[in-house]
């Protein structure tokens, strides 16, 4: 049973009260505040009106006192306890943040020191029939790290390496410091009898000849007094119609055993872009002398996953093969969906993953500085057909791998999360850490650190050892980036491209001091075309949040370009990087309107430029994961969806540049236009591709057409056109080029032949008229080409069928606007504008 009864919360100064008094069942806690569990202290204080919301303005500075307090949770519940032989009662906390002491009926039953794992307590001797009282004390984390050694390197703060807690709580370059505490996972009480099922592990061994073999390992333990009993485990795979696709019985000798299930004509699990993410139901029943005593159920997808490190010719590669099919990973990096992790609604996860799927993403990387995500995340990725790259929670720091207690804690964390997540079909890769191997070398070479690589044994010994025992079916990668001559080598392993935005100068080899180039050319997204990475697992650039999000969280008198509140939204160092990027492409903004437009356009066009390049080179490059999908607070960041779940311009561009079939032009000013078709589907494409050239008044200057014959999973250059010929009498700063397909499904793709700042855009006007359908408008451009048409409503979490698009004069586009649940949006307050128009 989940303990959803009324919980109460109170804070004290450290040492102010005796724990035995506060944990006592007889304590009168009716004057404490009520609190949600799962949840956290910050959110409770916000909901009770005790603190102003820390996301508004600078209010986070006013809530720092919370992390210095001792916080107590209490609840009472009724329970009918039975005393039959062989009965055990277990109290499980799925998430405690972080240093907690747990009491049941006034008795201390244990303490915890890790946010990233569950804790289970045997409460058989303490639980009572009738009323029971749980009390949980949370210490300030400072009590547990103030006397610890501080290492030479730990990004953003040196206090966190000893603490097994979400690293981003201490602040990151996209979010503020919010050192949370509280019961962030579910709390449940379970009754076990005679024996318990400790582990069920299922994985696809082979798919061949119209059949699949699924191996199921089970572990169980009998309680004292029953260890001579015969234990068996009945396992079955149930299809969607409720039929048993395969079944078997495991004899648990010594508490362990395995069986292989043969599934005839299996439905395979695919990513949503390659097929159907079909899920069976895996059932396991523990029998003691033929009597069922425990059971386990989960969804299960039949599929194989491989990480190719060599291609068929023996060259280096970094590519995922799903069911034997090499895929191009199209996706983003995932950070926690809110700083207040315990209070994130399940629906927020579903909304974000729905947005990812709707923009054709097939992979999400769970970044190391957050958490091993909640069950709802993996369940939804299973259901929606999205692969998961899972980092272990070690990010950008040295960690004390020389300390036995710390390493024992880490091992328990790793083992728990591997066991918890390994049955998910979506889970494609385990990765040891984020950027540590790479940054240790750079910081050593640059003279910032001269100590040993503390933490190295975690990623290169401990984790591989655990995976060999608990999940040998999945590939493991020690770090990201990793491989080659500097751990960020385009010729080996995966790569983080931070030449763009951060100005990192490449090529670079092990031992060479890092160099930063803060110039227009140094940070420019044009550097993407120099990158022939095997797999680009991090890259991106900032863009403003949407107007509604900024206005909601910034004081009205600070909503202007250059205000201190606008600057406070940006947690990155060296704010000039964003200015330099815009200077090179759009020009420097003069006001808040231009900042929102220019930053979004630069991000969108920059990501398009880079990802189209990666995809054209899919014979070598096998994935692109944008940094990042969403935001954990309402800031200015690399996200393509802002905190209020409103997509930025880059998101709508992604619907084209991540589409399974991509039409693209490879071009630089003065060079020929090279026409490409990229086909990520499993079928051959045959048809025609048309290039249409317009001037900004909407006049069609001319067209060219090429035959397209593109193999499955291939990329083909189908034609080339010299720039003077492509202009068809127009001027390069005054033409718009559009690619369309005939004979196969591909979205149109538009191009300008010069950077935005160099275009001679006319003044245009755009208007939106409601149709008879609720939530639908028709947008029309007049007077000239309308650049980046933007529709805005004063609401969050809306779905626009299209937004941030270009329209030729006289063209119309129908846009459907809905709430996240699919219901039509209220169109009151709708505005439509373009970069080269006045908002109207």
Convert the pLDDT of each residue in 77-111 to its tens digit: 999 998 888 999 999 999 999 999 999 999 999 99
Name the band, by pLDDT with cuts 50, 70 and 90, for residue 490: very high
pLDDT surpassing 60 at residue 840: no
Nearest to 283, CA basis, from 92, 84, 423: 423
Mean pLDDT computed over 670-694: 98
CA 664 to chain CA mean position, Å: 27
Strand partners, 204: 214
Residue 813, Ramachandran bin (φ over 0: left; ψ between -120 and 50: alpha; else beta):
beta
Mean of per-residue pLDDT scores for the chain: 97
SS3 379: helix
Name the band, by pLDDT with cuts 50, 70 and 90, for residue 591: very high
Nearest to 777, CA basis, from 829, 821, 836: 829
Nearest to 701, CA basis, from 738, 648, 747: 738
Mean pLDDT computed over 316-335: 98
Mean pLDDT computed over 789-800: 98
Mean pLDDT computed over 781-790: 97
- SS3 percent helix, strand, coil of the chain, rounded to 5, is 20, 35, 45
By the 8 A CB rule, do 539 and 626 touch?
yes
Largest CA distance in the chain: 92
Residue-wise DSSP of 642-695: -TTS-B-HHHHHHHHHTSSEEEEEE--TTSPEEEEEEE-SSS-EEEEEEEEEEE
d(CA 560, CA 29): 47
SS3 106: coil
Strand partners, 709: 686
Count of other CB atoms within 10 angstroms of residue 64:
12
Structure tokens at 256: 């362990």
Report the predicted TM-score, pTM, of the whole model to 2 decimal places.
0.97
pLDDT digits (tens, 9 = 90+) for 7-26: 999 999 999 999 999 999 99
pLDDT digits (tens, 9 = 90+) for 280-307: 999 999 999 999 999 999 999 999 999 9
Angle at CA of residue 218, ends 212 and 221, nearest 5°? 170
Name the band, by pLDDT with cuts 50, 70 and 90, for residue 839: low
Q: Which residues contact 273 (CB under 8 A, 6 or more apart)?
A: 330, 360, 362, 385, 660, 680, 681
pLDDT digits (tens, 9 = 90+) for 701-760: 999 999 999 999 999 999 999 999 999 999 999 999 999 999 999 999 999 999 999 999
With b meaning 16 or more CB within 10 Å and e meaning fewer, what string describes 639-663?
Answer: bbbbbbbbbbbbbbbbebbbbbbbb
Please, what sign has the CA dihedral across residues 485, 489, 492, 495?
Answer: positive
How many residues appear in the chain?
Answer: 840
pLDDT digits (tens, 9 = 90+) for 22-80: 999 999 999 999 999 999 999 999 999 999 999 999 999 999 999 999 999 999 999 99
The percentage of residues in the chain with a pLDDT greater than 70, rounded to a whole number, is: 100
pLDDT digits (tens, 9 = 90+) for 167-221: 999 999 999 999 999 999 999 999 999 999 999 999 999 999 899 999 999 999 9
Structure tokens at 211: 């059949």
SS3 138: strand
CA 54 to chain CA mean position, Å: 23
d(CA 252, CA 5): 38
Q: Phi then psi for 596, rounded to 5 degrees? A: -60, -45
d(CA 259, CA 245): 15
d(CA 358, CA 350): 12
First and final C-alpha spacing in the chain: 55
Which pLDDT value is given to residue 598? 98
Residue-wise DSSP of 507-554: S--TTPPP-B--SHHHH-GGGGGG---S-EEE----BPPPHHHHHHHS
């Amino acid at each position: 049973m989940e303990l959803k009864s009324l919980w109460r919360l109170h804070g004290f100064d450290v040492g102010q009260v005796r724990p035995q008094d506060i944990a006592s069942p007889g304590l009168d806690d009716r004057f404490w505040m009520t609190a949600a569990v799962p949840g956290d202290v910050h959110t409770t204080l916000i909901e009770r009106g005790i603190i102003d919301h820390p996301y508004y303005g600078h209010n986070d500075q006013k809530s720092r006192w919370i992390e210095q307090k001792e916080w107590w949770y209490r609840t009472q519940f009724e329970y009918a306890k039975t005393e039959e032989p062989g009965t055990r009662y277990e109290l499980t906390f799925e998430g405690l943040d972080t240093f907690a002491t747990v009491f049941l009926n006034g008795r201390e039953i244990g303490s915890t020191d890790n946010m990233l794992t569950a804790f289970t307590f045997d409460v058989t001797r303490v639980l009572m029939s009738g009323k029971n009282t749980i009390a949980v004390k949370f210490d300030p984390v400072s009590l547990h790290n103030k006397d610890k050694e501080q290492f030479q390197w730990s990004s953003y703060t040196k206090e966190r390496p000893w603490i097994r807690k979400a690293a981003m709580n201490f602040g990151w370059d996209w979010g503020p410091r919010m050192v949370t505490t509280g019961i962030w996972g579910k709390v449940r009480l379970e009754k076990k009898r005679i024996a318990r099922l400790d582990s069920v592990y299922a994985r696809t061994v082979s798919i061949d000849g119209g059949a699949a073999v699924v191996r199921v390992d089970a572990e169980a333990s009998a309680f004292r007094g029953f260890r001579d009993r015969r234990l068996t485990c009945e396992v079955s795979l149930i299809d969607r119609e409720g039929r048993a696709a395969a079944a078997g019985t495991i004899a648990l000798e010594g508490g362990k055993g395995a069986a292989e299930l043969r599934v005839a004509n299996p439905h395979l699990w695919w990513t949503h872009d390659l097929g159907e993410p079909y899920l069976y139901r895996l059932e396991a029943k523990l029998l003691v002398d033929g009597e069922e005593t425990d059971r386990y159920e989960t969804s299960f997808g039949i599929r194989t996953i491989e990480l190719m490190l060599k291609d068929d010719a023996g060259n280096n590669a970094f590519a995922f093969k799903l069911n034997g099919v090499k895929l191009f990973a199209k996706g983003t990096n995932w950070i926690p969906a809110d700083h207040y992790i315990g209070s994130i609604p399940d629906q927020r996860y579903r909304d974000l993953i729905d947005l990812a799927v709707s923009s054709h993403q097939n992979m999400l990387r769970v970044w190391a500085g957050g958490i091993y995500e909640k069950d709802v995340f993996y369940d939804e990725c299973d259901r929606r057909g999205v692969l998961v790259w899972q980092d272990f929670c070690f990010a950008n720091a040295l960690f004390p791998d020389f300390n036995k207690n710390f390493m024992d804690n880490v091992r328990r964390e790793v083992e728990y999360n591997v066991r918890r997540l390994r049955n998910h079909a979506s889970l494609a890769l385990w990765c040891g850490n984020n950027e540590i191997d790479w940054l240790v070398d750079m910081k050593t070479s640059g003279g910032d650190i001269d100590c040993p690589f503390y933490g190295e044994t975690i990623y290169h010994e401990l984790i591989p050892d655990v995976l060999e025992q608990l999940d040998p079916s999945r590939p493991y990668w020690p770090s990201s980036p990793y491989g080659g001559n500097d751990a960020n080598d385009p010729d080996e392993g995966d790569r983080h491209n931070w030449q763009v935005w951060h100005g990192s100068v490449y090529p670079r080899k092990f031992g060479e001091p890092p160099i930063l180039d803060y110039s227009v050319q140094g940070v420019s997204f044009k550097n993407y075309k120099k990158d022939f990475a095997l797999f680009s697992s991090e890259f991106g650039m900032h863009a403003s949040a949407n107007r509604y999000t900024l206005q909601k969280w910034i004081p009205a008198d600070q909503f202007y370009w250059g205000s201190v509140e606008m600057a406070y939204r940006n947690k990155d160092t060296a704010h000039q990087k964003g200015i330099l990027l815009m200077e090179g492409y759009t020009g420097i903004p003069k006001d808040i309107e231009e900042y929102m437009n220019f930053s979004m356009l630069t991000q969108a066009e920059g990501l398009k430029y880079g990802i189209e390049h990666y995809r054209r080179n899919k014979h070598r490059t096998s994935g692109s994961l944008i940094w990042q999908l969403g935001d954990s607070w309402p800031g200015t960041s690399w996200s393509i969806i802002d905190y209020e779940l409103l997509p930025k311009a880059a998101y709508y561009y992604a619907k084209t540049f991540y589409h399974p079939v991509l039409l693209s032009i490879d071009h630089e000013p003065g060079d020929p236009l090279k026409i490409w078709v990229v086909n990520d589907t499993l079928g051959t494409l045959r048809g025609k591709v048309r290039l249409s050239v317009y001037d900004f008044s909407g006049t069609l200057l001319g067209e060219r057409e090429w035959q397209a014959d593109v193999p499955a999973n291939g990329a083909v250059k189908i034609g080339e056109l010299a720039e003077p010929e492509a202009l068809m009498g127009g001027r390069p700063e005054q033409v718009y080029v559009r690619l369309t397909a005939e004979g196969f499904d591909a979205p149109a793709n538009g191009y300008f032949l010069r950077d935005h700042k160099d275009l001679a855009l006319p003044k245009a006007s755009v208007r939106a008229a409601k149709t008879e359908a609720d939530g639908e408008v028709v947008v029309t451009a007049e007077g000239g080409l309308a650049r980046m048409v933007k529709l805005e409503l004063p609401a969050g979490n809306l779905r626009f069928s299209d937004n941030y698009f270009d329209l030729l004069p006289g063209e119309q586009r129908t846009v459907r606007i809905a709430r996240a649940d699919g219901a039509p949006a209220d169109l009151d307050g709708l505005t439509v504008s373009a970069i080269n128009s006045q908002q109207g």
